[in-house]
Structure 1
Amino acid sequence: MQWKRMEKPALLTKLFQDPKYLKAEIVIVMLGSNDVLRKDPSITPQETVRNLELICQAMKRTGKEKKSIYLCTIPTAGDDTYLSEEQMADNLTRNQLIEAYCDKYVPMVQWTYKRLEVDLGKTAGLTRSISFLFSRNSDGVLPGLKVDLAGNFEMKRRNLYWQDGRHFSSIGYAKMAKDWVPIVRPDMVKREFSLFRSDLGL
């Protein structure tokens, strides 16, 4: 693995050693706006996304198997105040590349019926099972929450940020937590059904 224009990935190494991560079945990757501010050397949008790809690929190889990885767009609130036009264009390109990397996420439900045999083989009834299919790219990465202004107009609300208009406020974090629910719910339901069927020996 070759990291593009990065120091030693100490944070990533620590993450892979964290017991909480090793047990995680759903992982959310969110990148801040530091890349656009880097100088000497600078980081291009293509290098930013390549680094994210390598991080996601490394995550797939460590910890729980069959984990789901969700990749968010980069927040752009305050870009018009703190960045140059060139830097703003770079962040827009970063988010376009992130969206291109993540396939469109469309959960499809398949209903199947299976006989539940109990009590010396007598048929007690029918149990209905659900399987979810996910559209994924080759790395198995799913689109996460859109927190950029171009991709999500709701992120333009002023009360989502502190006075600097750039960093998320407690209201902003609460909104993101709420918005995550419909994104990860199908994935969580699928995993709950898998545990349920395993406990019943189905």
Structure 2
Amino acid sequence: MTTPHKRPTRASAKREADTPSPRSKSSPRKPRPPSPRQSILARTNPLPIIQAYAAAVITYLTSCVYLYGLIFSNWLNAKTGTQTKPYSALKNKIVIIGDDHAFGYGDDLSVAGTSGIAGHLRRALLGERYNLRQSWVIHNRGAMGTTSEDWLPKNAKAPNAGRTKFEAVFEDPTYADADVVIVFLGSNDYRNPTLDPESTVRNIAATCRTLSTMGKDVWICTIPNHNDEPKGDAVVEANMRRNEILGLWIQSNQEIVKPGPPLDALSYDFRHKSFWTSDGQHFSAKGYRKLAKDLADLMRTSLVKREFARLSKSVKF
């Protein structure tokens, strides 16, 4: 005999609803919604803002310390330079002029030695493969943020123009008798709207031509324009045009200048990101080392000839 099904009463249904159902161990616990007080604190918590501001301040201060440390290092070694063989009686001079890449921005900071291409070139020239017997004193006279116009010689600038970097360097007896000058110019010209590509090359040509008439071996590199895209299409096109004109001028004036390593974006030698700092605009320490080695390879024969000429002058018959 079957027991008739009992319909649940209203009271029993209420008891079943109030009784919590057993939760399995695998079922997740529902998150508890935040209280109104917690929601207000989350919206008004100043800690993330303070942390972001502190990080920005630290980054700025670190950049300032690095830049002024680099300036101090270059100032400290400006007159003495860095030498390959300090005890050699016969000394020759190399002077590096130009913008950020001559100055050495992006290289490791070193108060004990000269930063930038100067320090790395000294270490490269010490190699036995270059067969250099005399001392080479290398001076870094680059200046951050300068343009090709800032390095114009007196005979190429406007009559009412002020004293340029060229005059400040080569009217100083320490650098006036340099045997070799390495030029890095043009990478900052895009910031000056009056300097179109033709003006840039015209200024560089005037500087190199004057140095050549002063009896110096002049080495000129194309303009580093890797990673120009963030600056806009106009800058990319202008710098490509600068390098195009500059390359043609170098090829047709090799009695005045000697071509250094190609540094423009069309050259594959410096495309690897490890050769550049995080901003993509300046050489890293690794980039300066490679540039110094490439320069030393190209300059080897010319430097040996300079040493022979100095030795010939020093010999008394």
The TM-score normalised by the length of structure 2 is: 0.47
CA distance in 2, matches of 1:158, 1:196: 43
CA distance in 2, matches of 1:154, 1:136: 22
Question: Gaps (5+ residues) in structure 2?
Answer: 1-154
Moved beyond 6 Å, runs of 4+: none
Shift in CA distance, 54/184, structure 1 to aligned 2, threshold 3 Å: same
Does residue 144 of structure 1 match 2:248? Answer: no
Give the 5 Å matches for 1:123-202.
136-137=254-255, 140-150=256-266, 152-199=267-314
Note the C-alpha offset of 1:38. 1.5
Does residue 50 of structure 1 match 2:202? Answer: yes
Q: Is the 8 A contact 2:212 2:257 kept in 1?
A: no
1:79 counterpart residue number: 228
- Name which of 225, 242, 267 aligns with 1:94: 242
CA distance in 2, matches of 1:20, 1:155: 33
1:118 counterpart residue number: none
Equivalent position amino acid for 2:254 in 1? R
CA distance in 2, matches of 1:21, 1:79: 34
Q: Is the 8 A contact 2:197 2:241 kept in 1?
A: yes
Shift in CA distance, 194/77, structure 1 to aligned 2, threshold 3 Å: same
2:181 counterpart residue number: 27
Q: Is the 8 A contact 1:75 1:147 kept in 2?
A: yes
Note the C-alpha offset of 1:32. 4.5
1:116 counterpart residue number: none
2:191 counterpart residue number: 37
Bigger strand fraction: 1
Equivalent position amino acid for 2:229 in 1? D
Shift in CA distance, 2/32, structure 1 to aligned 2, threshold 3 Å: closer
Q: Give RMSD over aligned pairs.
A: 2.4
Alignment: residue pair count? 162
**Cα displacement string for residues 18-66 of structure 1 (whole angstroms, at most 9, x for unaligned residues):** 3332121111110142111223xx311000000111111222344xx3x
CA distance in 1, matches of 2:203, 2:186: 13
Equivalent position amino acid for 2:285 in 1? S
Equivalent position amino acid for 1:26 in 2? V
The TM-score normalised by the length of structure 1 is: 0.71
Identity of aligned residues (%): 30
CA distance in 1, matches of 2:234, 2:175: 37
Query: What secondary structure does 2:265 align onto?
Result: coil
Larger RCO of the pair (alpha carbons < 8 Å, separation 6+): 1
Note the C-alpha offset of 1:192. 2.0
Shift in CA distance, 10/164, structure 1 to aligned 2, threshold 3 Å: same
Query: What secondary structure does 1:155 align onto?
Result: coil
CA distance in 2, matches of 1:100, 1:200: 41
Note the C-alpha offset of 1:198. 4.4
CA distance in 1, matches of 2:192, 2:291: 26
